Amino acid sequence: MGEDNVQAALEKSKRGGHLWIFLASPLLAKECRIYIYNLAWRLGVPVKESSLRDGIEVFPKHDTLSAGSFGNAIRGPLGIHREVNRRFWFYGANHTLDAQMAYLKGLRRITEIELRRFIAGTEMPTSLRPPATTQAWKYSGEGCEAEFNILRHVGKVRKVGRNYLTRCPSCAGSGHDRGGDNLAILISNTRFYKCWAGCTKQMIRAALGHPIRIFKTA
């Protein structure tokens, strides 16, 4: 990153650290991911994907989002971690909000022109691409997603903005989600729900005793 004149900020975290890169304007997630994934690939740094248990996590995790779906929930810089109820500081400044904010404001932001130059002639490394879909699938039969209403199977919910928040059954089964708000359910369409801690729909449904049944199409 230093060779590209990218000033990344290293933040402490509960389990290690977060490396933040700041942008001069909102840029395409897909192009940002191509840059980071190629850096990791060239340096031999493993990226944690569905097939790997260890490695770095890259956010955002999606190139695009379909209508009504959720992206990643992240704790912003200098935000309070919900589980441990504390703020984690950046290494580049004294541990006061004024010093930290001055440090972050002084960092160079990547421009769209720079990002396009970084990724010119590159694409997502083949070894890090998600597996190609070779089958057509649909949900079918009793308990299919079109008929399943998750509100009937979770505990007490509360409204926050456009979502209901409640305890994630998958997190709870692992002894997590002490705040009881890891699971967000879209109020306007309860078919769309997301665990902020990363549990998949399959994990959530399995924890509820209503696993998703998938059938191949002809």
Average pLDDT of the segment spanning 208-218: 67
* Range in 6-20, 43-57, 199-213 the model is least confident about: 43-57
Exposure letters 79-94 (e unless 16+ CB within 10 A, then b)? eeeeeeeebbbbeebe
pTM to 2 decimal places: 0.58
pLDDT at 5: 92
Tokens of 179: 């705040």
How confident is residue 9, by pLDDT bands cut at 50, 70 and 90?
Answer: very high
Instruction: Specify the amino acid at residue 202.
Output: Q
The pLDDT of residue 42 is above 80: yes
DSSP 3-state percent helix, strand, coil across the chain (nearest 5)? 25, 15, 60
The larger pLDDT score, comparing residue 178 to residue 10, is at: 10
- How many Å apart are CA 215 and CA 140, to the nearest integer? 7
Instruction: Tell me if 9 sits within 8 A of 90, measured CB to CB.
Output: yes
* Range in 1-5, 16-20, 34-38, 124-128 the model is least confident about: 124-128
